[in-house]
Structure 1
Amino acid sequence: MYEKIVNADLNGDVRIVDLRSDTISKPTQEMREAMYNAVVGDDVYGEDPMVLELQRQAAELVGKEDALFVASGTMANLISIMVHCSQRGSEIISGDNSHTFRFEQGGSAQIAGVQTALLKNNEDGTFSLDALRKKLGKILIFMNLLPPLLSLKIRTICVVVRATRTRKALGGGWRQAGILAAAGLVALDKMIDRLQEDHDHAYKIAKAIANLKSEIFKVDLKTVHTNIFMMYFDSSKFTAEDFLERIEEVRESDPIKVSVKAISCDSGCIRFVTYWEITVEDIDIAIKKILSVIRELENKFNE
């Protein structure tokens, strides 16, 4: 890692602030202890107490009757598609920037045999109701004849049973999965209330960039609500790779010996993500490095 980011012999350590994704975050110490002490069982038989409790609490948290613990977000999305589009050759309507379309290796088509009808997303990630109406031809409104709660319960049971069978077919038949579920229980109990810290950290970086009032690099603060935000720029002037390489690189002349990591969403967009391991100090030095690089690239372009 250091060979990639250091471009000179430097005195002292280089601090790395990794803002690529919250998926790289590590378990907390409390999570590790809960995993060590987890009481486990075979979840394929429905006998893992930690998994059962995690599913119960997760369902209760979002006001649902049941939940299903799966191996990944991609698996969750594919299971959902396969449960609702159980017949091969079915079609789903999706935004052209949706995760299932752009980042999941075409699993809905390759594995589920489901076709995707694309709607072009607006800049804020939504798509217009008019576009949806045109795609559907008409919107059908279904009325349940059963009492609402009973109908919901029946549908939920059917969905969960089908989802569980689909999970098994996709290789997600957990055995002693309680080791992971134990960490999930700690997350539900301890981490939700502190999410605002991550949101505030992301907003702090976004606001610092916006306050530069750069003609090239832009952040729309109205869209920054969580621990993830996008910075847009004119890709005819710089490439995403130019920016990412420069914020990651550490030079002898740099006033701050810090390497910041982020990722590009496309040629004119950089994504930053904060999470529990990113400290206030990390945020402050990351801001200094990011702003320094923005000024440097702007000056280079204006020469």
Structure 2
Amino acid sequence: MASKLVDLRSDTVTKPSEAMRAAMAAADVDDDVLGADPTAQRFEAEMASIMGKEAALFVPSGTMGNLISVLVHCDVRGSEAILGDNSHIHVYENGGISTIGGVHPRTVKNNPDGTMDIDKIVAAIRHPDLHYPTTRLICLENTHGNCGGKCLSVEYTYMVGEIKSHGLKLHIDGARIFNASVALGVPVDRLVKTADSVSVCLSKGLGASVGSVIDPPAEIVGSKAFIDKAKILRKTLGGGMRQVGVLCAAAHVAIRETVGKLADDHRKAKVLAEGLKKIEQLTVDSASVETNMVFFDTMDPRISPDKLCAVLEQHNVLAMPASSKSIRFVIHYQISDSDVQYALPCVEKAVEELLKGGTEFEHLTNGTTKNSYGH
């Protein structure tokens, strides 16, 4: 078995860099629940500045960041949020906005590029009627994970923002918003300017160990009210942590050092997609690869995603199915060019082995593959 391990399951699998570990060890900390952790305060202030907002709040995870944001905007139980039918909030966050917040999801079909048709969003807004919940929020996702890491443009986001004239708020699940910024060549603050809140994940493409940041509206009055409510909800959900500066220190390094590497991640994803195109039994649209994700379909029933991932693991390439017919590879800054070049022949060899119907791999495909499509 090869000694090399190439982990393409997700950009959530990154390990803290030496610089991050050093920053964590040296972090100046205090009690953040009491509002006294200096490293957390400095990091939140920098994130607010980068995002063009007045404030920011560190939370343990992107799911919590999205949940808190939705609950701040939909603070009356029975409110309704419009969101994509293939969005992370709707599909992969355990129904938290409903089970915890009493918020009803009103889904609109996501297009292949991650957008929702503007007219369909408008049509989904409830008119006042005692039979209906009250529409209070629209949620977007940028980049859109289930749609291949596609980027939502500034122009599209502004068009959705104009719908707020109906009395709505706009939240952006910006788990990979920096990937979108780099791919589009647009400052990240422009991508979220029209949003009333944005959740930014620090432990995906940026490579920090833990956490996300919520940024509220740019208006000082609005941002203070948002942060006050968000802190209460963070505490209620168990996300109020003490010496959190240890985590914020690593995230600070990630923001300063990893954002500049994202374009290289995108380049490697393109190289990976072009290589996969050469394998006859696979289908990949390399032109659709915009950021760090590559989705490809298997064309032969003997090569199911579960089986292919199981065989790849024997060659020390880790991946996860994206659906019953497709697989997702995700590049991050700890995947090198040589890793990409190592993975491609491994995929080709795994395909060949499955086509031969080798029974030595059957034990790997009897329910042992761990599907975790949401990450």
TM-score of the superposed pair, with normalisation by structure 2: 0.68
> 1:99 & 1:169 partners in 2: Cα distance?
22
The one of 133, 141, 147 aligned to 2:165: 141
What is the CA distance between 1:246 and its match in structure 2?
A: 1.9
The verdict on how the C-alpha distance between 1:142 and 1:133 changes in structure 2, with shifts beyond 3 A counting, is closer
Contact 1:81–1:108 (CA<8 Å) still a contact in 2? yes
Gaps of 5+ in 1: 1-9, 250-257
Q: RMSD in angstroms over aligned alpha carbons?
A: 2.3
Aligned counterpart, 1:173: 240
> 1:91 & 1:237 partners in 2: Cα distance?
43
Aligned counterpart, 1:225: 290
Contact 1:38–1:50 (CA<8 Å) still a contact in 2? yes
Contact 2:302–2:354 (CA<8 Å) still a contact in 1? no
- Is residue 2:110 matched to residue 1:53? no
> 1:155 & 1:204 partners in 2: Cα distance?
44
The verdict on how the C-alpha distance between 1:153 and 1:37 changes in structure 2, with shifts beyond 3 A counting, is same
SS of residue paired to 2:23: helix
TM-score of the superposed pair, with normalisation by structure 1: 0.83
- Is residue 2:117 matched to residue 1:128? yes
> 1:227 & 1:91 partners in 2: Cα distance?
32
The one of 30, 34, 40 aligned to 2:19: 30
For residue 255 of structure 2, what is the amino acid of its counterpart? Answer: L
What is the CA distance between 1:211 and its match in structure 2?
A: 4.1
What is the CA distance between 1:124 and its match in structure 2?
A: 2.5
> 1:273 & 1:89 partners in 2: Cα distance?
37
- Is residue 2:322 matched to residue 1:261? no
> 2:164 & 2:29 partners in 1: Cα distance?
45
For residue 307 of structure 2, what is the amino acid of its counterpart? Answer: D
Contact 2:295–2:329 (CA<8 Å) still a contact in 1? yes
Amino-acid identity (%)? 37
The one of 341, 346, 349 aligned to 1:289: 346
Gaps of 5+ in 2: 128-162, 168-193, 195-216, 358-375
Aligned counterpart, 2:6: 17
Aligned counterpart, 1:92: 81
Contact 2:269–2:291 (CA<8 Å) still a contact in 1? yes
Aligned length: 274
Contact 2:29–2:245 (CA<8 Å) still a contact in 1? yes
> 2:227 & 2:284 partners in 1: Cα distance?
41
Higher relative contact order (CA 8 A, sep 6+): 1
Task: Within 5 Å, give how 1:231-246 maps onto structure 2.
Answer: 231-234=296-299, 236=301, 238-246=303-311
Between Structure 1 and Structure 2, which shows a larger proportion of helix residues?
1
> 1:157 & 1:220 partners in 2: Cα distance?
45
Pick which of 223-232 and 68-77 moved more.
223-232
Aligned counterpart, 1:3: none
What is the CA distance between 1:293 and its match in structure 2?
A: 3.0
